[in-house]
Amino acid sequence: MRKFLVCLSVVCFSLSAGAQQLDTRLLAEKVRSEFVHAWNGYKKYAWGYDGYRPLSKTAYNWNTTPMYLTALEALDTMTLMGLTEEADSTREFLATHLKFDSDQSVDVFEITIRAMGSLLSNYELTGDTRLLNLADSLGTHLLPAFITGSGLPYRMVNLKTGAVSGQVTNPGEAGTLLLEFGTLSMLTGKPKYYNHAKIALLQLYDVRSPLGLVGDAIDVTTSEWKSTDSHLSACIDSYYEYLLKAGILFNDQDCQKMWTEAYAAINAHLLDSSRAGFWYGHANMNTGKRTKTWFGALDAFFPAVQVLAGDLPRAKRLMNSCYAMWTKNGIEPEQYNYATGLVEKPRYFLNPEIMESAYYLYRATGDSLYLRMGVSFLEGLMTYCRTDEGYAELNNVITKEKMDRMEPYFMAETMKYLYLLFAPPETLPFEKVIFTTEAHPLQKGS
Ligand code: DMJ
């Protein structure tokens, strides 16, 4: 690894001078070999389980019965990286072992974005109908969650019994289902999936504040807001992403309208453009009053959304802020206070959003600035998160103390976006797909 870091530093140096060409082929190859490094750790110590703990070299499951989440999440990334044999054998394993009728409670949002999104994406990439059948089975077992009166789904559902729990949800969980459920409807001809996920979005829109904002906790039985904190971070983030993306993928005019209104409200009340830079903070959804000047790793998805929405000027400015947040400690924190420059929540969960935004901006502009940012991200990951047999999250981005966990989305998102940033555009034609919030590409017009 040391040899490559030296090489990366040379590349970085020449890039900050802005004069020399980057060797994108070498960088893509490096990302691919780092993916294989992480994959080998999972395979060696956690195969057959959901997740991998890279410090203790042990495995964990979400609940009682594994759903092989790391393997499932990694599958389309392997295909895109050309790791064909590994992808084929993993797909065979999943197609013959996965089941969605176990007596365990799952988080509807998490299982949708991780499992259903991956199954649909990999079905579209390979034509393996077993994956589509599994997605259909999963969808069927999730439907009891939507029987609430409001149409907002409960957070949790037991796959076998249909028993629900989690009465208080949030826009991020209730409103991030339509890309997967909608695609499932298109591919199976069963409209019920689309309809349930769409009703949840319409309900969130109906109970928005007079300013057009949403809070970050809501009761599914009454639609009463349990928190009025409005922002782009966890518990809301991908709700906005799905309004925009569902509008594009399904040409859904309700979603297009809801997105347009939401984006105007976001820019009117959350945007914080001041001497501290160009950021989006927190505000009370009813008054618009600024409540926190916090922005974090998750919020860094927003430049990508702005690119897709055609707002390049704001996307570029926000990406510069995201990059400043990253470089402050060589890796980004969960929450950063842009007014004070202090880290408010110091963990880093191997999050992908900042790489995602660099990738979108590079595709949209061709500006090598975003490749240079990508080099910093790769260098930060390799320097601070790499272990001898995997990648670890950080308990503290200042001290760089590691945590014993490698989130499955590291394989689906972080590695995929970094790879696609450096790989030739034909690896995955950007205009022909819409990425789910978990980076599983869905084909337009399917
Ligand atoms: C992923 O699970 C998804 O992108 C989700 O929408 C929020 N972010 C995490 C990874 O950071």
> Average pLDDT of 193-202?
98
Would you call 334 a catalytic residue per the annotation? Answer: yes
Burial of residue 14 (CB within 10 Å: 0-12, 13-18, 19+) is middle
CA of 69 relative to ligand 1 center, distance in Å: 14
**What is d(CA 440, CA 386) in angstroms, rounded to the nearest whole number?**
24
Q: Which of 34, 110, 332, 393 is catalytic?
A: 110
Q: Which residues line ligand 1 (CB under 6 A)?
A: 238, 298, 351-353, 409, 437-438
* Residue 7, pLDDT score: 54
pLDDT per residue over 204-216, tens digit each? 999 999 999 999 9
Tokens linked to 421? 């940033």
On the CB side of 270, CA atoms within 13 Å amount to 27
Would you call 23 a catalytic residue per the annotation? Answer: no
**91, 75 Cβ separation under 8 angstroms:** yes
**What is d(CA 292, CA 275) in angstroms, rounded to the nearest whole number?**
16
Neighbouring C-beta atoms of residue 307, cutoff 10 Å: 23
Confidence of residue 8 (pLDDT cuts 50, 70, 90): low
**222, 210 Cβ separation under 8 angstroms:** no
**What is d(CA 335, CA 112) in angstroms, rounded to the nearest whole number?**
26
Neighbouring C-beta atoms of residue 412, cutoff 10 Å: 28
In this structure, what are the phi and psi dihedrals at residue 108, rounded to the nearest 5 degrees? -60, -45
pLDDT per residue over 153-190, tens digit each? 999 999 999 999 999 999 999 999 999 999 999 999 99
Residue among 113, 176, 359 to mutate when testing ligand 1 (max atoms within 8 A of CB): 113
CA of 432 relative to ligand 1 center, distance in Å: 22
**What is d(CA 263, CA 361) in angstroms, rounded to the nearest whole number?**
19
Q: Which of 50, 272, 353, 393 is catalytic?
A: 353
pLDDT per residue over 57-95, tens digit each? 999 999 999 999 999 999 999 999 999 999 999 999 999
Residue among 180, 238, 299, 435 to mutate when testing ligand 1 (max atoms within 8 A of CB): 238
pLDDT per residue over 124-163, tens digit each? 999 999 999 999 999 999 999 999 989 999 999 999 999 9
Q: Which atom of ligand 1 is nearest to the CA of 237?
A: 6
Q: Which atom of ligand 1 is nearest to the CA of 351?
A: 11
**What is d(CA 353, CA 298) in angstroms, rounded to the nearest whole number?**
6
Q: Whose CA is nearest to atom 11 of ligand 1?
A: 351
Q: Which atom of ligand 1 is nearest to the CA of 352?
A: 11
**What is d(CA 357, CA 300) in angstroms, rounded to the nearest whole number?**
7
**What is d(CA 360, CA 303) in angstroms, rounded to the nearest whole number?**
8
